[in-house]
Amino acid sequence: MSNISRDEVAHLAKLARMAVTEEELDVFAGQLDQILDAVAKVSEVASDDIPPMSHAVPLTNTFREDEIRPGLSQQQALAGAPSAEDGRFRVPRILGEEQ
């Protein structure tokens, strides 16, 4: 039994602003039927005693602890810069930008 009609697929295509051919309507209707059947099977398995979850396995935080460490000095930060001016990175002017 078909869950979705060609008219419904055409309406969805119109909402998505997709130009589809008559053959594509048949193909998409079949594909959407398969998707709806798969969702229905999952709904059958879902039980009230199974809590909802976002992941199949528990997540653990793998990040390291935040530690305060000294940063670069101004001279160290500018040491690898191709060009510096007045203690700052010098970058080329963007064309068409007003000064």
CATH number of the domain that 16 lies in?
1.10.20
What are 4-49's pLDDT values in tens digits?
A: 888 999 999 999 999 999 999 999 999 999 999 998 888 777 677 7
Which pLDDT score, from 0 to 100, does residue 90 have? 92
**What is the DSSP pairing of strand 88-89 with strand 84-85?**
antiparallel
Residue 18 lies in a domain: yes
- Residue 32, domain member (yes or no): yes
- CA distance linking residue 28 with residue 43, whole number of Å: 22
Residue 28 domain-assigned (yes or no): yes
Q: Given this model, what pLDDT does residue 11 score?
A: 95
Q: Which residues contact 78 (CB under 8 A, 6 or more apart)?
A: 84, 87, 88, 89
Residue 92 lies in a domain: no
Q: Tell me, what's the pLDDT at 56? A: 83
In a domain, 64, yes or no: no
What residues make up the domain containing 19? 6-45
Among candidate residues 71, 28, 81, 82, the one with its CA nearest the CA of residue 20: 28
**Cα–Cα distance measured from residue 80 to residue 94, given in angstroms and rounded to the nearest whole number:** 22
Domain count, the chain: 1
